[in-house]
Chains A and B, each alone.
Chain A
């Protein structure tokens, strides 16, 4: 069992503090730099084919794709964006279909970029507008469904600002012809609406493109671009860390599907379950959940189909209790015992869920408090710099808090993972890893809480560094074990 190596424990004992004393601090700075570089190169490896893009870059890239396709297919650029949108911005699949199709016009008609049935063009351009009934100059698309400029403008503005769509159909009901961007822009003159339309275009570009995802960071507005769509860590310029496949915070070791189930379960059930667990019992006959809000222990089930009479204390049938209204001394009664056993089974599932939920929430809560710790540590770092330590030498404290936060996040998601895990040998190893990481994380946390005031800075530094390195090592082991399990398909989930 390589995952559980006793040698790991030597970390905290390695080298006595005396030995490390003087020249240590300089060495250490270098050691830390090297370590950081390692960390960074690792991150680069994982983000090798991941680019963070601003909305200007996205717009540029979108336009480049459009003109590239336009040059190849020889269709107008406005039509290109609509076609690409239809094929989820997958250029290859669009071109394949385009050339495969025996009839180009039929292909374009099916994509709603060429009218299905155009009306014959009227002779005069000035007539009564069908929408506002004013005599005005009318215009329209290739389908010749016409309206006055004011009506077109109002229609497009509603579509853009109310319906929030950048794929707009012709004004005529039933005509599915899509309007080209140039045409939209020629009618819409108000700058805010034009800006909204541009935003909607870029948004539709990102949302439909399988290789792009918006960063979920608040007001970030950047998107990540990858070369294949798969669950992977993305670190945005705004420091958000998220999963490319599902857009949630990076959630290793639990996978996207189970995370979604877990989050849904938590938002649906957690408070309700807590309350049910604390305040109710189930009717021993029909298993309906009952809250006792007063009165004696002689219960009559309100369920019309059941009407069972039972004792709230022992859950046995009421009959043998006779007229004695309270003193239930029938604990060993067999009927009551079976009822309690049945209840235990149904409660056990609830208890199990609450066990994982409470730990998941516990780590999430601690993670939020870690932000406060950053402030404390910052003050301490400044203080240490005044006491003859260099800037580079005090960075270890920040690094320790970074590691702590990472461990908390990982631990948090291990509980979602563990909830769905079936018990087997692998799950036992996992739980051991989890237990160890949790214990050591708590120690590191305690360290940063309480021992920052210790006088001997060199000792403090040594201790903190030993601790965070060990904890990080344990985290690596846990994640590696989970990853290997996924690769070998050896996790058995119970949903």
Chain B
């Protein structure tokens, strides 16, 4: 079944493969072109350097007229990222334009990492440390950079996330509820 949004997503995917922007990659999941997984590498010479952060992108049939829902799957410590991984970024809300594509979204999030907007904090601790105690902030960031390598060993070098990995990520939240 092809609809305008699916056609457009195929083009976005093709563009991402033919002309990949530095430090980001993404692909639709095998069974649903409306659900994507992506990886953003922490930009060099920033506290996020060497981090490999996984994200999910959920599109609707209204794409590109409406933005997708983008979330970090990897743990993140950043003034504009909520505890559940949701991102507070203007182009994903009121500044959205249908001319943005997946590559533009991913590169925008990548540059957000080192250019947070402490005025609209989604994580108040991160915002406070960023402004008042940069050293401690960078320490916390380094912790999540190290964590981002954890579930990555078996897939190293393989840019496209596999199903098994998604499963692995899905298991994590289930563990504490089992101990109850």
Contacts and interface: CB of A to CB of B under 8 A. Distances in A.
Contacts of B104: 173
A491 interface: no
A163 interface: yes
B7 A132 contact: yes
A154 interface: yes
B111 interface: no
B91 A131 contact: no
B65 to A, nearest CB: 5
A132 B99 contact: no
Contact of A158 (B4, B7, B65): B65
B99 A163 contact: no
Interface residues of B, number: 15
Interface SS of A by simple majority: loop
Contacts of A173: 91, 95, 97, 99-100, 104
B99 A171 contact: yes
Contacts of A131: 8, 64, 98-99
Contacts of A147: 98
A388 to B, nearest CB: 69
A151 interface: yes
B11 interface: yes
A172 interface: yes
B162 interface: no
Given A132-B7, A133-B11, A163-B94, A172 B65 contact: no
Given A132-B4, A158-B65, A163-B94, A172 B11 contact: no
Given A155-B65, A158-B65, A173-B104, A133 B97 contact: no
Contacts of A174: 97
Nearest to B96: A173
A409 B132 CA distance: 50
B66 interface: yes
A119 to B, nearest CB: 12
Contacts of B95: 173
Interface string B75-112: 00000000000000001001101111000100000000
A158 B66 contact: yes
Interface in B12-65: 64-65
Nearest to A150: B4
A174 B91 CA distance: 10
A154 to B, nearest CB: 5
Interface string A425-445: 000000000000000000000
B88 to A, nearest CB: 18
Contacts of A36: none
A131 B96 CA distance: 13
Interface string A313-356: 00000000000000000000000000000000000000000000
A3 interface: no
Contacts of B11: 133
B7 A133 contact: yes
- Tell me which of A145, A171, A173 has the highest count of chain B C-beta atoms within 10 A of its own C-beta: A173
A353 B7 CA distance: 63
A449 interface: no
B17 to A, nearest CB: 16
Contacts of A151: 65, 98
Contacts of A172: 97, 99
A112 to B, nearest CB: 15
A130 interface: yes
Interface string A144-163: 01010001001100100001
B97 A171 contact: yes
A115 to B, nearest CB: 15
A132 B91 contact: no
A163 B91 CA distance: 14
B172 to A, nearest CB: 33
A98 B98 CA distance: 33
A132 B91 CA distance: 19
Contacts of B7: 132-134
- Tell me which of A131, A134, A147, A174 has the highest count of chain B C-beta atoms within 10 A of its own C-beta: A131
A145 B65 CA distance: 16
B149 to A, nearest CB: 33
30 contacts: A130-B99, A131-B8, A131-B64, A131-B98, A131-B99, A132-B4, A132-B7, A132-B8, A132-B64, A133-B4, A133-B7, A133-B8, A133-B11, A134-B7, A145-B99, A147-B98, A151-B98, A155-B65, A155-B98, A158-B66, A169-B97, A171-B97, A171-B98, A172-B97, A172-B99, A173-B97, A173-B99, A173-B100, A173-B104, A174-B97
Given A131-B64, A134-B4, A158-B66, 16 more contacts: A131-B8, A131-B99, A132-B7, A132-B64, A133-B4, A133-B8, A133-B11, A151-B65, A151-B98, A163-B94, A171-B98, A171-B99, A172-B99, A173-B91, A173-B99, A173-B100
List 4 tightest A-B contacts by C-beta distance, closest first.
A173-B97, A132-B4, A131-B98, A154-B65
